């Protein structure tokens, strides 16, 4: 087992390898593609293979049968992305550069899908994951990114006078009540884990509702929430469809054929954490009254288990009962998350799989809590790709 971490601000790569022998051979490709330690091939998680690399440190831990290696990576102008950052730009490497674009954001859809030569609209379809029936298509809709899941909370800081405090203003702008929603049935708002659509009353649609749930009209598969409370006139209905209940179908813009993509439920957690970090600088989370998660580092590129992961969150985790007496939950900067069971199950599976791929010496971390007490946590990583 091995772990390679790339630290772009330090221009270095740290490698940890288990089950190595004293005097292990170390080889690496100076173009930055791969390293080899005792015939264990380790893909290096650097962004550009043109970087030159030199060995600057090596330490053998005989007791734990582990070898740690440090490599110096020459800085590359291309490795720094100076494009404007936005809420939706932090998740998946784009096709043209190393900026990061959230999966199924508007920019991601533009980047990967083909474009109609006449209408100039990108061509793709969202369908029900269960029965494959078409739910949303790009031909008849326009797509807009949600600015942030916390935008309404941040208004407390941005505005002295909230727009929804002016009743006359509400009458003039009936589609606004402090809530972002589609103003037309042809508009689709893309959030970090959902798509928000509007269906006019009496109109035949691919989704309907059962109580407060959004379900597929064809197979009754649960797809998200029916948002009855944000309707202004009763003539339109709003549905928030979870991305992991959809499939994306499109023709690749580089004419490589038809593609079908799914959305991993754990990305809901990744995006929620990133939104909290970017908006209010919160890094500690208590999930479903059972799991305490501390985001130790963001934007990390790592290699483990034969895979390279970009823009990864490094997490320190600990099982924590809500009934137990502990200092972590008493701190003011802990965000409580209540995840759907599907999301929680996959989130835990991803954490466990990443944890099992780590060398033994990298699986634990001791951190100091708010009361200056040292607590041991398990280490894992949450990838964005």
Residues 245 and 126 in one domain: yes
Q: Which residue reads 């709003």 in tokens?
A: 238
Let me know whether 141 and 69 are in one domain. Answer: no
Helix pair angle (267-280, 151-158), 10° resolution: 0
- 79 Ramachandran zone, left/alpha/beta (phi>0; psi -120 to 50): alpha
Among 186, 215, 249, give the residue marking a domain's end: 249
385 pLDDT more than 90: no
Q: Is residue 28 part of a domain?
A: yes
Counting Cα atoms < 13 Å in the Cβ hemisphere of 26 gives 20
Q: How confident is the model at residue 157 (pLDDT cuts 50, 70, 90)?
A: low
Q: Compare 32 and 364 and report the one with higher pLDDT.
A: 364
Q: Considering the chain, what is the average pLDDT of its residues?
A: 80
314, β-bridge pairs: 297, 381
Are 239 and 275 in a shared domain? no
Say yes or no: 30 and 56 in one domain.
yes
What pTM value is reported for the model? Answer: 0.79
Q: Is the same domain home to 114 and 232? A: yes
Residue 262 lies in a domain: no
Is residue 86 domain-resident?
no
On whether residue 360 sits in a domain, the answer given is yes
- The answer for residues whose C-beta is within 8 angstroms of residue 129's C-beta and 6 or more apart is 221, 244, 245, 246, 247, 262
CA distance 31 to 175: 55
117 shares a domain with 211: yes
99 falls within a domain? no
Tally of structural domains, the chain: 3
Q: Using one digit for the tens of pLDDT, what is the confidence trace for 194-247?
A: 999 998 877 888 999 888 899 999 999 999 999 877 665 567 889 999 999 999
For the domain that residue 14 is a member of, what is the CATH number?
A: 2.60.40
Q: Considering the chain, what percentage of its residues have pLDDT values greater than 70?
A: 75
Does residue 94 lie in a domain region?
Answer: no
| pLDDT (0 to 100) of residue 93 | 42
pLDDT on residue 151: 53
* Residue 315, CA distances (Å) to 232, 275, 351 in order: 42, 16, 9
Q: Are residues 204 and 109 in the same domain?
A: yes
Question: 240 with 180: CB under 8 angstroms?
Answer: no
Task: Give the 3-state DSSP-derived string for 274-337, with helices as H, strands as E and coil as C.
Answer: HHHHHHHCCCEEEECCCEEEEEEEEEEEEEECCEEEEEEEEEEEEECCCCCCCCHHHCCCEEEE
Q: Confidence class of residue 126 from pLDDT cuts 50, 70 and 90?
A: very high
Regarding whether 274 and 223 lie in a shared domain, the answer is no
Assess whether pLDDT exceeds 50 at residue 14: yes
Q: Are residues 214 and 290 in the same domain?
A: no
Q: Which of 249, 280, 296 finishes a domain?
A: 249
In a domain, 256, yes or no: no
Tell me which of 202, 219, 249 is where a domain ends. Answer: 249
Q: What is the 3-state secondary structure (H, E, C) of 217-273?
A: CCCCCEEEEECHHHCCCCCEEEEEEEHHHEEEEEEECCCCCEEEEECCCCHHHHHHH
Which structural domain, as residue segments, surrounds residue 283?
Answer: 267-382
Same domain, 62 and 140: no
For residues 74 and 135, membership in a common domain is answered with no
Residue with tokens 């699986």: 363
**Domain match, 229 and 356 both:** no
For residue 72, tell me if it sits in a domain. Answer: yes
């Amino acid at each position: 087992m091995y772990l390679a971490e790339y630290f772009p601000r330090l221009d270095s790569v740290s490698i940890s390898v288990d089950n190595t022998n004293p005097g292990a051979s170390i080889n690496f490709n100076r173009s930055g593609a791969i390293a080899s330690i005792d015939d264990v091939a380790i893909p290096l998680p650097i962004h550009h293979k043109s970087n030159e690399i030199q060995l600057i440190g090596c330490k053998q831990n005989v007791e734990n049968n582990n070898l740690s290696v440090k490599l110096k990576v020459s800085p590359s102008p291309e490795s720094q992305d100076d494009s404007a950052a936005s809420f939706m730009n932090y998740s998946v490497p784009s096709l043209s550069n190393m900026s990061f674009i959230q999966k199924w954001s508007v920019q991601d859809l533009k980047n990967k899908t083909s474009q109609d030569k006449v209408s100039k609209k990108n061509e793709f379809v969202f369908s029900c994951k269960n029965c494959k029936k078409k739910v949303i298509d790009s031909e008849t809709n326009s797509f807009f990114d949600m600015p942030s899941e916390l935008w309404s909370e941040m208004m407390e800081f941005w505005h002295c006078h909230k727009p929804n405090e002016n009743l006359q203003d509400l009458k003039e702008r009936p589609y606004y009540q402090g809530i972002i929603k589609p103003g037309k049935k042809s508009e689709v708002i893309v959030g970090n884990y959902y798509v928000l659509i509007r269906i006019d009353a009496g109109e035949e649609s691919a989704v309907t509702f059962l109580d407060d749930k959004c379900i597929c009209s064809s197979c009754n598969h649960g797809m998200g929430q029916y948002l009855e409370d944000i309707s202004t006139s009763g003539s339109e209905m709003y549905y928030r469809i979870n991305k992991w209940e959809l499939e994306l179908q499109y023709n690749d813009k580089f004419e490589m054929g038809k593609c079908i993509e799914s959305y991993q439920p754990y990305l809901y957690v990744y995006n929620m954490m990133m939104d909290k970090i970017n908006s209010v600088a919160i890094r500690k989370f208590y999930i479903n009254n059972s799991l305490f998660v501390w985001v130790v580092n963001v934007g990390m590129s790592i290699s483990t288990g034969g895979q390279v992961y970009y823009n990864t969150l490094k997490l320190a985790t600990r099982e924590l009962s809500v009934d137990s007496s502990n200092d972590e939950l008493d701190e003011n900067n802990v965000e409580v998350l209540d995840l759907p069971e599907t999301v929680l199950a996959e989130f835990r599976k991803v954490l466990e799989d990443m944890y099992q791929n780590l060398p033994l010496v990298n699986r634990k971390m001791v951190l100091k809590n708010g009361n200056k007490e040292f607590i041991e946590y398990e280490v894992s990583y949450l990838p964005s790709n």
